[in-house]
Structure 1
Amino acid sequence: MLLNKNKSDKTEHSSSVLKLQTLINYSKASAFAQPCSFFTSTPYQRPLRPQDTTDTIINTCLTIDELSHSQHLLAQRLLFNIYEQDMVFLPKPPAPFDFNEFKDFYDPTHTANGKTIRPLLEHYLYNWLKHEIHVNGPWCTESFIAHTDKVLDAIARSESKLYKVLTGSRQPERAARFFMIQCAGDFLSEASAMERNVLGNGGQYTSELFKILIDEYGYGIDKKKHSTLFENMLKDMGMSHHPHYYWQFYTASALSLTNYFHYVSANHSEFFRYIGAMYYTEASLALTTRHQSDAIRTIFNGSVSTEYFDEHSHIDIHHGRMALKRLIAPMIESFGNRIIPDLIRGFEEFKLLQDIADEELYAHIKWHDDLNEYRAQAATLHGKQPVDLKITEQAHELSVLHTHSNDELFWVESGELDFVASPDLIVRLRAGEGVVIPKGMLHGTCIVSPSCTYNVTAV
C-alpha cells in the first residue's frame, strides 16, 4: 500500500509539473510578449505579465476575498485569450494586418496548450461561485418566474449608481471613457459566446436562441450589428474602435463577465446555467441601458450617438420575453423541474459577477478622481517603514498594467517615469514623488529618463 501511495504521489506531482509547464509555455507565446506601448494596434498582440504566473493558478481556486490579486487578472487574461482563439479577428483599416502575427495567434500547437489548461483556469476562476450562490428547495416554473421577476423589478425601481458615478466624477468624460473601455472587451465581439450554443441539434430551443443571435448581428447587415453600433459610439467619443486596443486597461472583473459566458457556453453540460445567465443579462440590460444612454448624453452634451444603448433598451425587452416564454418555460415543461436549479444558478451567478464588476469600475473612477490626494498621502508615508522592493529600470522600459493584493506605497528615488492609471490619466513622477496604490487598482509605468529607481512598500 505504501508503494502504491508513493507511486500515486509521484504521478500526481509529475502531472502538476506538466500542467505548470504547459501554462508557462502558453503564457510565453509571442502574442503575449512584452509590449512597447500601453495600447495594441492589432488584435493579435495581448501582453501579459509572465512574472505573475504561479502554480496556484492550476492547483487552487480563488476565493471572493482574492479578486484583487494579480493572479486573478492574469488568469482572466489567459482564459479570455484561450476562448478568443476560437473566434475570428481581422483588423479594420487603417490598422495594419500582419500575416505572421495572425498565424502565430492561431497557431495549432499554441491553441492546443490553451485548451489543455482551460479547465484548470475555469476551476481557479469560477469555483468560488459555488460557495457564494446557494440554490435550495424545490422549484417549479411559477417559483422561478416569481423569483426572477422580483430581482428584475428591484433593478427597475432602483436609482442608477452608474449614472450618478459617471456624471458626478471630477472628470466625467474620462470616467465615461473608462466605462466604455470595460465594455469594449465584450461589446466589440458581442454575442460570440452565444454562437457556441446554436451548433448541434437542439430542436426548437437552439432555433429560438438563434433568433436572438441574429438580432445581435444585425440580420447580416454590418452597419446594424450591435458591435458596429458600439464602434460608432467609441469613434464619437474620440476613442479607438479597434478590438482590444485598450487590452491592458480591462479590469479583471470586466473580463470575468465575458469569460463567464464563454465558460458556461464552451462547457455544454452547463447549458442551462448559460440560459439563466443570458436571461438575466437580456432582461436587465433593457432596464440599465436607459441610464447608460442618459449618462453619455448628459456628459457629452448630445454630441455622442447613443444608438447602441438605445437599441438595447428596445430590443432587450423583446429578448428577455423570448428567453422566458420561448426558451425557459418550454424547456422546463419538456425537461422537468430538475433543470431549474441550473437556470437559477446562472441567473444569480451572473448577477453577482455584474455587481462585482460595477463596484470595481466605481472604485477605479474614485481612485482616478482622488489621485492627487493619494500622491499627497504617499509623501506623508514615505520613509516610515522598511522598503519591500527596490527596482531600477532603463529608459523606455514598460510595466504592463497590473494590480496588487494590498495597498502599496510607490515611490520614485531617482529618475523619472510615467505612472499610468487610465488612457486619460498619465502622471509624470520624478525623484522624491510617489503615490499610494489601493489594492486591486490597475496601474503601469514607463521609464522616461535614462535610468529610474523606484521602490514599493506594502501599506
Structure 2
Amino acid sequence: MLWTTKLTRESAYDGSNAAAEALALYAQADAFAQPSSFYTSSPYRRPSRPQDINDSLLTESLKSNQLSSSHHLLAQRLLLNIYEQDLVFLPKPPMAFNLKEFKDFYEPQHVAFGKKIRPVLENYVYGWLKEEVHINGPWELESFLAHTDKVLEDVAQSDSRLFQVLTTSRDPQRAAKFFMTQCAGDFLSEASAMARNVLGNCGVYTSELFKILIDEYGYGVDKKKHSTIFEDMLKAMGMSHHVHYYWQFYTASSLSLTNYFHYVSANHGELFRYIGAMYYTEATLALTTKHQSRAIRTIFDNTVPTEYFDEHSHIDVHHGRMALKRLIIPMIEQFGNTIIPDLIRGFEEFKLLQDIADEELYAHIKWHDELDEHRARAAELHGKRNVDMRITESENELSVLHTHSNDELFWVESGELDFVMSPELSVRLKAGEGIVIPKGMIHGTCVTSKTCTYTVTAI
C-alpha cells in the first residue's frame, strides 16, 4: 500500500517546527521504505512504516497503557536507527555489500535529522517512566544495598516463567525461536551502548567499566565475542545470524530494552542511571541465563549449543560483583548519596522494562499457540459489527509488521493473502476467512492473489 506521513507538508516545512521537519525528512530515508520481503537482506534496510507518524510523537509522552500502539513501535524503530547510526555495521558473507546503501545509511545530513528528533522521541517512549517509578528518599549506601539485594534475591528464588512458557508451548521450538528473535536485536551488537561510556576520563571508573566491556568483546578474539557466540547459536537453530535480518519481527518492548541502554548512555548526564540499570541486568543475567540455557537444551534435545547462555551464567556473576564493588560503592563513597536516586532509578526502570518485555513475549507466544481459536472467534464475530476500514491491495503488496491499540477483527472479503505473525508462523487466509488480532500483537500481510480486499474492525 502506498503511504504518506500524517504530518502535512505545510506543517513540516513552515519553519516554525524544526522537529516536525526533521522527523518528516528522517523518516523518508530509503532505509525505512516499503520492502519487498519480511526479512532484510542488508543491515542498512530497516522498514519502519513511516505512515504511522503523527504529531503526538513530537508533542506528547506515552502513558503506560499505550505501549501497544503502532506509534510506540514506530518510535522505538526510529530511535534504534538513530542510535545505531553511531555504530559501524558491515554485512557478513554471503550477504552482499552495497556501497551506496552503506553511504546512505550514514549520510551526515540524515544523521543530523535523527539527532534533532532524538530528545523528543526519547521523551515520547520513556517519559512515562517518571510516572511509574517513584524514588522516595532519603537514600544512603546501606539502604541502597538492602533494596537491591532484596530485589536480586527475589529473582534468584523465583521460578522461571520463561522456561515454563517455552517448554509448554504447543510448538516449543517455534516459541524458542521467537524468543531468540527478540534477543537478536540486542545480542548481535551486544555491549555497544556500554562502549559509549568508556570515552573521556572518569578516572578509575573508566577502566573498571572497560574491563566489563572487553569481556563482552572476547578480549579481541572474535570467536569468543558474545555476539559471535550468539550467532553460532542462531545458526545451530536454523535461524539467520545476520544483523537485523528479523528487523520487522522485533516487538516494541524488546526494542525498548536495547534503546534504554543507548538512551541513558548517549545522554551522559544519565550516567548513574546507566550504572544502576547495568548492575540490574548483569546481576540478574547470571541467574536467568541458567533457565534460558535449560529451556533450549530441553526443547532441542541437547542438539543446540548453549554456550552463549552458559557463558553469561558464569561471567555475569563476576560482572555484577564488579558493577557493585568497583563502580557503585566507590562512586557513592566519592560523590556522595546525591547519586543514589539516579542509581536506583536506572535499576528500577530497567527492571520494569524487562518485566513488560517478558509479558509481551508471553502474550505473543500465547497468541501463536491459540491461532485456531482466534480464527474461530473471527468467524463468530464477522458481520456483527460495522466495518472500520476496507482495503484493496494488489498481488505481492506487503504490509510491514505492525500493531494495533485495540483488539481487531481482520477479515478477507475477496482474494487471498499470507497473514504473518512470526518467522515461524504464517497462515494463508482466503475469502470468507479471518482472524482476531489481540492488541499489541505484531503482524503483517502479503497479497498472494491478483487483488485482495480485506476489512478491519475494532472489537
Please tell me the TM-score bracket, short chain as reference.
Answer: over 0.9
CA distance in 1, matches of 2:382, 2:443: 19
Q: Does 2:124 match 1:124? A: yes
CA distance in 2, matches of 1:425, 1:81: 27
Q: Which residue is 1:207 aligned to?
A: 207
Following TM superposition, by how much is the alpha carbon of 1:41 offset from its aligned partner in structure 2, in angstroms?
A: 1.1
Q: Which residue is 2:327 aligned to?
A: 327
Q: Which residue is 1:224 aligned to?
A: 224
Letter in 2 for 1:241: H
Q: Which residue is 1:416 aligned to?
A: 416
CA distance in 1, matches of 2:319, 2:276: 13
Once the two structures are superposed, residues 102-159 of structure 1 have per-residue CA deviations (whole angstroms, 9 ceiling, x without a partner) of 0010000110000000000001110100000001121111111110000000000000
TM-score, normalised to structure 2, is 0.97
- The root-mean-square deviation of aligned C-alpha atoms, in Å, is 1.2
Q: Which residue is 2:365 aligned to?
A: 365
Following TM superposition, by how much is the alpha carbon of 1:206 offset from its aligned partner in structure 2, in angstroms?
A: 1.0
Once the two structures are superposed, residues 177-213 of structure 1 have per-residue CA deviations (whole angstroms, 9 ceiling, x without a partner) of 0000000000000000000000000000011000000
| Equivalent residue runs for 1:342-353 within 5 Å | 342-353=342-353
CA distance in 2, matches of 1:436, 1:187: 32
Q: Does 2:138 match 1:138? A: yes
Q: Does 2:276 match 1:270? A: no
Q: Which residue is 1:108 aligned to?
A: 108
Q: Structure 1 residues 72, 16: CA separation in 2 closer, same or farther (over 3 Å shift)?
A: farther
SS state at 2:17 partner: helix
Q: Does 2:383 match 1:399? A: no
CA distance in 2, matches of 1:433, 1:337: 61
Q: Structure 1 residues 16, 383: CA separation in 2 closer, same or farther (over 3 Å shift)?
A: farther
Once the two structures are superposed, residues 422-453 of structure 1 have per-residue CA deviations (whole angstroms, 9 ceiling, x without a partner) of 01111000000000000000000000000000
Q: Structure 1 residues 387, 305: CA separation in 2 closer, same or farther (over 3 Å shift)?
A: same
Q: Which residue is 1:53 aligned to?
A: 53
Following TM superposition, by how much is the alpha carbon of 1:50 offset from its aligned partner in structure 2, in angstroms?
A: 1.4
SS state at 2:399 partner: strand
Q: Which residue is 2:240 aligned to?
A: 240
Q: Which residue is 1:44 aligned to?
A: 44
Following TM superposition, by how much is the alpha carbon of 1:269 offset from its aligned partner in structure 2, in angstroms?
A: 0.4
CA distance in 2, matches of 1:16, 1:416: 46
Q: Which residue is 1:317 aligned to?
A: 317
Letter in 2 for 1:33: A
Q: Structure 1 residues 153, 16: CA separation in 2 closer, same or farther (over 3 Å shift)?
A: farther
Q: Which residue is 2:280 aligned to?
A: 280
CA distance in 2, matches of 1:91, 1:19: 32
Q: Which residue is 1:5 aligned to?
A: none
CA distance in 2, matches of 1:206, 1:289: 27
CA distance in 1, matches of 2:41, 2:239: 13
CA distance in 2, matches of 1:111, 1:250: 23
Following TM superposition, by how much is the alpha carbon of 1:48 offset from its aligned partner in structure 2, in angstroms?
A: 1.2
Letter in 1 for 2:58: I
Compare 15-24 and 289-298 and name the one that shifted more: 15-24
Letter in 1 for 2:126: Y
Task: Give the unaligned 5+ runs of structure 2.
Answer: 1-10
Q: Structure 1 residues 371, 16: CA separation in 2 closer, same or farther (over 3 Å shift)?
A: farther
Count of residue correspondences:
449
CA distance in 1, matches of 2:148, 2:272: 15
SS state at 1:410 partner: strand
Q: Which residue is 1:180 aligned to?
A: 180
Once the two structures are superposed, residues 226-247 of structure 1 have per-residue CA deviations (whole angstroms, 9 ceiling, x without a partner) of 0000000000000000000000
Following TM superposition, by how much is the alpha carbon of 1:398 offset from its aligned partner in structure 2, in angstroms?
A: 0.1
Letter in 1 for 2:60: T
Q: Which residue is 1:293 aligned to?
A: 293
CA distance in 2, matches of 1:24, 1:161: 41
Q: Which residue is 1:87 aligned to?
A: 87
Q: Which residue is 2:4 aligned to?
A: none
Letter in 1 for 2:87: M
Following TM superposition, by how much is the alpha carbon of 1:17 offset from its aligned partner in structure 2, in angstroms?
A: 3.2
CA distance in 2, matches of 1:14, 1:453: 38
Letter in 1 for 2:415: G
CA distance in 2, matches of 1:211, 1:304: 29
Q: Which residue is 1:4 aligned to?
A: none
Q: Which residue is 1:7 aligned to?
A: none
Q: Which residue is 1:169 aligned to?
A: 169
CA distance in 2, matches of 1:165, 1:299: 11
Following TM superposition, by how much is the alpha carbon of 1:15 offset from its aligned partner in structure 2, in angstroms?
A: 6.4
Q: Which residue is 1:6 aligned to?
A: none
CA distance in 2, matches of 1:450, 1:157: 56
Q: Which residue is 1:98 aligned to?
A: 98
Q: Which residue is 2:7 aligned to?
A: none
CA distance in 1, matches of 2:423, 2:98: 25
Q: Which residue is 1:375 aligned to?
A: 375
Q: Structure 1 residues 344, 14: CA separation in 2 closer, same or farther (over 3 Å shift)?
A: farther
CA distance in 2, matches of 1:24, 1:392: 27
Letter in 2 for 1:138: P
Letter in 2 for 1:458: A
CA distance in 1, matches of 2:54, 2:278: 33
CA distance in 1, matches of 2:343, 2:382: 52
Letter in 2 for 1:32: F
Q: Which residue is 1:75 aligned to?
A: 75
Following TM superposition, by how much is the alpha carbon of 1:16 offset from its aligned partner in structure 2, in angstroms?
A: 5.9
CA distance in 2, matches of 1:141, 1:107: 46
Once the two structures are superposed, residues 256-314 of structure 1 have per-residue CA deviations (whole angstroms, 9 ceiling, x without a partner) of 00000000000000000000000000000000000000000000000000000000000
Once the two structures are superposed, residues 333-362 of structure 1 have per-residue CA deviations (whole angstroms, 9 ceiling, x without a partner) of 000000000000000000000000000000
Aligned residues: percent identity?
A: 74
Letter in 2 for 1:99: L
TM-score, normalised to structure 1, is 0.97
Following TM superposition, by how much is the alpha carbon of 1:14 offset from its aligned partner in structure 2, in angstroms?
A: 5.9
